[in-house]
Structure 1
Amino acid sequence: MTFQPIIPVGGIAGWQILQRTEESQRETYAASGQTKRDLDYFREKIGDIKTPEQLVGDFRLLRVALGAFGLDDDIGNKYFIKTVLEEGTTDDDALANKLSDKRYLALSKAFGFGDFDTPNTALSTFPNEIAAKFTDRSFETAVGQTNDDMRLALNMRREIGELAEASTSQTTKWFTILGTPPLRAVFEGALNLPTSFGSLPIDRQLEEIQIRAESVLGTSDPADLGSPERSELLIQRFLVSSSIEGSSGINSPAANALVLLGGR
């Protein structure tokens, strides 16, 4: 059975419908034939994987591994992924630490090939941990095939909750937001940051996004953004901002809605 998400409209109305039906849609997706087969195979085989070379050599395992971190498009970049995994995360010069996209860091840290003598694939809890990540991410991907804004909204809600609880500094959390493309896209839209924002030096980007978050959301601390209220405000502003791009300008209903959600 092929899963087809039900999202009849876009914008805030579509998001509200998705939230009301999300639990049942997730259950349907998890029970779909391809997803179940992929996860059964992963749980059966991943414990035998001891090296990055073995992982990238198994297409089905690699598809789940990359899908769990939103890196599906890298399925053909085997040498690159192998290097990310081999070098680990403990050395400042490791490739994963140098890449601006922090999803690679999360991937390498999760598998632990370059960080430990025995990788995390040997842990009894590891298969289910990755399976849960894959189910969440791949459901979001399926939703994105119907409406990409909804995919980004689901991703943001999940990731901002995890980031808010992380025991890292505010600055590190903001750099994670700036370095994670799906999260960054939502923040740029929700905070109405101009297209030129990405061309600024990274320290200036950090300063500007904190200033805008304080002004629009009432806080510049990512730990506060994990609350349901602020997370929902972020998503609604993002969806309205995205709608404005396809509407008739500053006097459109979408633009007026953005003003009601806290100004532009």
Structure 2
Amino acid sequence: MSTFSDYIQVTQNLARYQKMTASDPTIAQATKYYQANIGSIKSADQLVNNTRLFNYVMSAYGLSDMTYAKAMIKKALEEGTSSSSALAYKLNNSKITALVNTFNFSSYGESTTQQTAVTQGVVDKYVMQTLENKQGESNPGVQLALYFRDHAAGISDAYSILADANLLKVVQTAYGISSYSSVQNIDTQAATFDKLLTYSDFKDPKKLDNFLQRFTAQYDFANGQSATGSASGGLTSPSFLLSLQGLKLGGF
């Protein structure tokens, strides 16, 4: 199976995959605890000091590798995002910014954890993040494609991509851009993306699918995988790859 066909299999049956993930005993137990206790959290300090809740939230935002940084996350949560000098922006990590926007104690105070984005939105993110991780165990390309699909609506410019390692990996792979280009000046990298991409296209489902088809085909090609089942001879067949080269860059 190709990365694209695996990706399509998941997205066309996404509700079923999400339900299966949510019903996993370990996931269900973690979610039950979160839903039963998050409403009692009234401050950033209480959140970071409740290990089970904090780990759940960090996992939901793809930040499980940063659970050690409690002091930093606490400070970011307390400052919020209303000021351009807030720590959430200084860290230049879109995942942290998204986390702080949801748990915006600076703006909502003790009512923060009563917001729908917290009570249900975080649960949805946790399930989706877990689903992506599980797919990544068998095919990291599928995980990247699902991640990009889930975050595409938030891409407004080149810097939105450059601030997120996963989004950056997808774009670099789709256009055959070396990862070593990341050492270039950030404005130089942004200028390159401006020539290649029309960012508003990521909000168009059809154009987004076309882009992710390009990514998954290039991912398989770069990783020596062969696609099967395509009417045109496979997504990484020579004819398909040649068609990719002929695509107008701005329209994927």
Instruction: Describe how 1:4-83 pairs up with structure 2 within 5 A.
Output: 9-83=1-75
Shift of 1:65: 0.9
| 1:145-182 per-position Cα deviation (integer Å, ceiling 9, x unaligned) | 2211111111111211x326xxxxx4xx3321221221
Query: Using the alignment, how far apart are the partners of 2:111 and 2:139 within structure 1?
Result: 37
Task: Choose 38-47 or 133-142, whichever is displaced more.
Answer: 133-142
> Are 1:122 and 2:106 an aligned pair?
no
Distance 1:82 1:113 in 2: 10
Higher RCO structure (Cα 8 Å, ≥6 apart): 2
- Match for residue 208 of structure 1? 192
1-side partners of 2:99 and 2:108: how far apart?
14
Contact preservation (8 Å) 1:87, 1:114: yes
The residue aligned with 1:6 is: none
Q: How far off is 1:139 after superposition?
A: 1.4
Q: Is residue 11–residue 243 contact of structure 1 (8 Å, CA) maintained in 2?
A: yes
Q: Pairwise CA RMSD of aligned residues?
A: 2.4
What secondary structure sits across from 1:254 in the alignment? Answer: coil
Aligned residue number for residue 218 of structure 2: 241
Report how far residue 255 of structure 1 moved: 7.0
Corresponding residue pairs, total: 238
Mean alpha-carbon deviation: is it higher for 148-157 or for 130-139? 130-139
Residue in 1 that maps onto 2:230:
none
Q: For residue 223 of structure 1, give the secondary structure of its aligned residue in structure 2.
A: helix
1:259 aligns to 2:242 (yes or no): yes
Give the AA of the match of 1:105: T
Q: CA deviation at 1:18?
A: 2.9
Aligned partners of 2:243 and 2:149: how far apart in 1? 21
**1:178 alignment partner AA:** L
8 A contact 2:7–2:146 mirrored in 1: no
Deviation at 1:115, TM superposition (A): 3.4
Q: Distance in 2 between matches of 1:12 and 1:43?
A: 35
Is the Cα contact below 8 Å between 2:42 and 2:109 reproduced in 1? no
Unmatched segments (≥5 aa) in structure 1: 1-8, 165-169, 214-219
Q: Distance in 2 between matches of 1:58 and 1:234?
A: 41
Residue 96 (str. 1) matches residue 88 (str. 2)? yes
Distance 1:260 1:119 in 2: 53
Q: Distance in 1 between matches of 2:202 and 2:222?
A: 25
Q: Secondary structure at the match of 2:82?
A: coil
Distance in 1, matches of 2:243 and 2:128, equals 32
TM-score with structure 1 setting the length: 0.81
Q: In structure 2, what is the equivalent of residue 167 of structure 1?
A: none
Equivalence for 2:154: 163
> Any unmatched runs of 5+ in structure 2?
226-234, 248-252
Letter in 2 for 1:240: A
8 Å Cα contact 1:84/1:108 also seen in 2: yes
- Which runs of 4 or more aligned residues in structure 1 lie more than 4 Å from their structure 2 counterparts after TM superposition? none
Write the distance in 1 (CA, Å) between the matches of 2:219 and 2:117.
39
* Distance across 2 between alignment mates of 1:178 and 1:124: 29
Change (3 A) 1:10 1:107: same
Aligned equivalents of 1:86 and 1:69: distance in 2? 18
Residue 78 of structure 2 contacts residue 105 of structure 2 at CA under 8 Å; is this kept in 1? yes
- Secondary structure of the residue aligned to 1:261 is helix
